[in-house]
Amino acid sequence: MKLIYATDVHGSFERVRELLRLTTADVYIIAGDLVDIPFYTVEKARRYHDLQTYFHSLRRDRGKTAATLEDFVATLLEEPDLPGEVWEKGDRFRYETMRARHILQKHYRLLDNILSLATAGTAFALPGNHDMDLHHTLLRGRDLHLQCHESKGIKIAGYGGAAGNTPGIPERFGVAYREGGGGKNDEMYRFFQSVRPDVIAVHQPPYGIHDFAPPMGETGSHALRRYCERHPVLLCLTGHLHDQWGLEEVEDTVFLNPSHFGEIVQANGTVAEGGFFHELEIDGGKIGGVRHRKLVGDLIHDLVYYERREGEWARRVVDRERYGALLRGINCEPL
């Protein structure tokens, strides 16, 4: 089975279209964050975030943190003596929340149309922390979150989302990330234990593997790490942290993060180019060679080729210029 994995698309849907046009695989996994913001402009997203921040603070002050922000605001607007300024902000927040849902659903409709072009194989989608629950979109038939599919005898299962709320994404429509350390009440752990997948696709990486985020340190999922240590998992595909890419094998599980596929506008205003994905073969319950590749316009470049030699993974750098740029975290192509 040939598998192609791209993650952190961040709205670069035309790039996904090119990937499908230029490659052939049995299975494509296009993972979150599928979209970047649930509005058409950054300014609208910032204004919505300002409203979220305002009501987050008010919800905390009133001790109502158990309620979603949308439910809290809806209840707040029913108060007869609510100050006019608060009511106005609440009404605008309610309207913009529903508008965000409408825009997100349009984005996912477009992506579903693009993924339907993968006629040679099956294309799945996994939501990240920038996405809404795909069960309520046209992508629900491709959704890997809490779903398991089989292709050529290989079971593939996924768990989307990430810990914490993402600014600018409506709480009510986001993916509920119920990771509790791997205990009996842990949704992720129980799901994987029930389906016993060969390949796992997640957004948030496991604890201690491709998960370092300064200044917090290791930020990965304890439940996922514990599951992979206790059960036979051939391959674990992750994302979320764009600079924590690479191949690592721990306890007979291969962990892959190709870095971001879409363009990313960084905190300092610069654009990180993206285009990275992994292509690999699974045959006889084993992973063959793994190609770390980069899509640039209508061309695909091989950066690194990984293969097993005497039980260890050997790395052969194919494109030193592009691989070196990725190592240094700088752009290589003209924007």
Q: What is the pLDDT of residues 37-70, one digit of tens each?
A: 888 888 998 999 999 999 999 999 999 999 999 9
Q: Report d(CA 248, CA 101) in Å as an integer.
A: 37
Closest CA to 30 of 9, 11, 56: 9
Q: Quick check: 115 pLDDT over 90?
A: yes
Q: Is 211 within 8 Å of 236 (Cβ atoms)?
A: no
Q: Report d(CA 165, CA 148) in Å as an integer.
A: 26
pLDDT digits (tens, 9 = 90+) for 264-317: 888 787 899 999 999 999 998 999 999 999 999 999 999 999 999 888 999 999
Question: What is the DSSP annotation of 58-116?
Answer: HHHHTT-TTS-HHHHHHHHTT-TT--HHHHHHHHHHHHHHHHHHHHHHHHHHHHHHHHT
Sorted by where each starts, the structural domains of the chain and their CATH numbers stand as 2-41+99-328 (3.60.21.10)
DSSP state of 227: H
* Phi, then psi, of 163 in degrees rounded to 5: -65, 140
Closest CA to 206 of 155, 253, 165: 253
Which pLDDT band, with edges at 50, 70 and 90, does 223 fall under?
very high
pTM: 0.94
Closest CA to 226 of 197, 186, 176: 186
Q: What is the mean pLDDT of the chain?
A: 93
